[in-house]
Amino acid sequence: MITPRIKALLEYPGDETVYTVQGWVRAFRSNRFIELNDGSCQQNLQLVIDFDQHDAGLLKRITTGSALQAHGKLVTSMGKGQRVELHVSAFEVLGTADPELYPLQPKKHSLEFLRDIAHLRPRTNTFGAVFRIRHSLAFAIHKFFNERGFYYFQSPIITASDAEGAGEMFRVTTQQAPGSLEKNDFSTDFFGRAVNLTVSGQLEAELGAMGLGNVYTFGPTFRAENSNTARHLAEFWMIEPEMAFYDLHDNMQLAESLLVYLIRYILEQHPEELAFLEQRLLDEEKQKPQHERSEMRLTQKLEFCTTQAFERVSYTEAIEILKFAAAHKKKKFQFPVNEWGIDLQSEHERYLVEQHFKKPVILYNYPKAIKSFYMRQNDDGKTVAAMDILFPGIGEMVGGSQREERYEQLSTRMKELSISETELYWYLDTRKFGSCPHSGFGLGFERMVQFVTGMANIRDVIPFPRTPKNCMF
């Protein structure tokens, strides 16, 4: 039986039409009022039951977490907190939840506690909100690119490329004891060579762009880095568009347009979830000292990022700003800004966004020495046409560049960095046959979800986080 979802029922008039609803009990008060939620929205539907008309033994089976099917009239509610309610004429308990064992009782649970029961997290208000927003962000990403004539291009998850050595990789093998393979001889392995889980789909996406024009990938990526922080996952999702005939300016404009589009979409589609998450953040910040609290509420921060044009600043300009910053002069930076050419840290990025410009920032033209081999070298011989977009509270949200389309320059740079031209012959081929200016960037999906939801830990924006020493389910 297909029944109306609670989200739709809450918008219906209370005209005493009989409906059947299904969902999970969030609370049962006074043996009369049931708060039912089916995951379709933040708000519960109140069911009103006349306990004198139903068997007491059956009523005892209605506990927090139990699955329920109920029939009754949808009427205008006389109480506070809801516009309509369902007056139950009959109900059936589809699945019980023993209150002595079920861990999600009607009280506040810490996020740390919920990580230990990740299989039950989607049933909570917080994670229901986060995962509905996560879905909408994914949908909006496909919508954005489809509206602009991009093609969804599937890059491989198992790959022989390390995409520049972007991080430690997970090896894929069918060998029972891969560590015992003599001299890394993989001739008897499944693929006949060493292969890994991908760290990026960029290089393969460039191949697609050279034939289809504008493409994007959206898939899982993997980093075997032993980082137990609130910002790192071993498995996460990346959006990586690649565009033929785009220069660095075009690249920056597209990335800014994407971020603004996604934030606006969530503001329009999820006001209830954002209101709930904003209140959760306000309650959380009451425990912090005043100087550690956010200057803007969650929705204010999101709206701010959609109304302020992103500031475009060269790396060289940023270094000068940081050198003269009070935080640097008073030695409050953990990593001093001593010279041009350093790799900016999160604290530097956040200072530029949150204190100096007070708006999202696009940094561009980074030193060649700290960037990847495939980035287009600028005429000054010192910098490359790279760009990063920095957001408040997060730091780097997007990283990208104009790609080096000139065969000689790319080949020379690969030799300088001891990157095998034999292994990447296919990548160099695109510079031999009809090469053209092209650009692309990467957006970490979980970081985007973090920013929009205000969740502090990246493990709380993905259903099943993969981290060092942790791979549940």
Spacing of C-alpha 345 from chain mean position: 21
Confidence of residue 176 (pLDDT cuts 50, 70, 90): confident
Q: What pLDDT, on the 0 to 100 scale, is given for residue 289? A: 83
Range scoring the smallest mean pLDDT among 94-108, 137-151, 277-291, 411-425: 277-291
Least Cα distance to 435 among 412, 402, 460, 388 occurs for 402
Q: What's the distance, CA 329 to chain centroid?
A: 35
How confident is the model at residue 161, as a pLDDT? 80
pLDDT over 70 (residue 343): yes
Give the residue-averaged pLDDT of 110-126. 95
pLDDT score recorded for residue 124: 96
Tens of pLDDT along 186-235? 888 899 988 999 999 999 999 999 999 999 999 999 999 888 888 889 99
Dmax over CA atoms of the chain, in Å, equals 85
What confidence score (pLDDT) does residue 237 get? 98
Mean pLDDT of 244-251: 98
Q: Which pLDDT score is estimated for 1?
A: 61
Any residues with CB less than 8 A from the CB of 420 and at least 6 apart, and which? 414
Q: Is the pTM of this model over 0.75?
A: yes
Q: What pLDDT score was predicted for residue 185?
A: 78
Instruction: Tell me the average pLDDT across 255-277.
Output: 98
**With bands split at pLDDT 50, 70 and 90, how would you rate the model's confidence at 180?**
low
Res. 453 pLDDT band, cuts 50 70 90: very high
Looking from the CA of 1 toward its CB, the CA atoms found within 13 Å total 9
Contact 202, 251 (CB under 8 A): no
The CB density around residue 120, as the number of other CB atoms within 10 Å, is 15
Residue predicted with more confidence, 321 or 163:
321
Tell me, what's the pLDDT at 330? 87
pLDDT tens, position by position, 28-72: 999 999 999 999 999 999 999 998 888 999 999 999 999 999 999
Q: Which long-range contacts (CB under 8 A, 24 or more apart) does 73-79 make?
A: 73/16, 73/17, 73/18, 73/19, 74/9, 74/12, 74/14, 74/15, 74/16, 74/17, 74/18, 74/19, 75/14, 75/16, 76/13, 76/14, 77/14, 77/46, 79/46
- Cβ density class 283-293: b for 16+ within 10 Å, e for less: eeeeeeeeeee
CA 375, 381, 385, 387 dihedral sign is positive
Average pLDDT along the chain: 93
Collect all residues with Cβ–Cβ distance below 8 Å to 11 and sequence separation of at least 6: none
AA letter at 105: Q
**pLDDT score, position 165:** 56
Confidence at 179, pLDDT banded by 50, 70, 90? low
Residue-level pLDDT at 164: 60
Share of the chain above pLDDT 90, in %: 81
167 pLDDT tier (thresholds 50, 70, 90): low
**DSSP code for 393:** T
Q: Note the pLDDT of residue 100.
A: 95
Ordered by where they begin, the domains of the chain are 6-107 (2.40.50.140), 127-166+200-310+359-460 (3.30.930.10)
At residue 447, the pLDDT reads: 95
Going by DSSP bridges, is the β-strand pair 235-244/158-159 parallel, antiparallel, or unpaired?
A: unpaired
Q: What is the pLDDT of residues 315-334, one digit of tens each?
A: 999 999 999 999 888 888 99
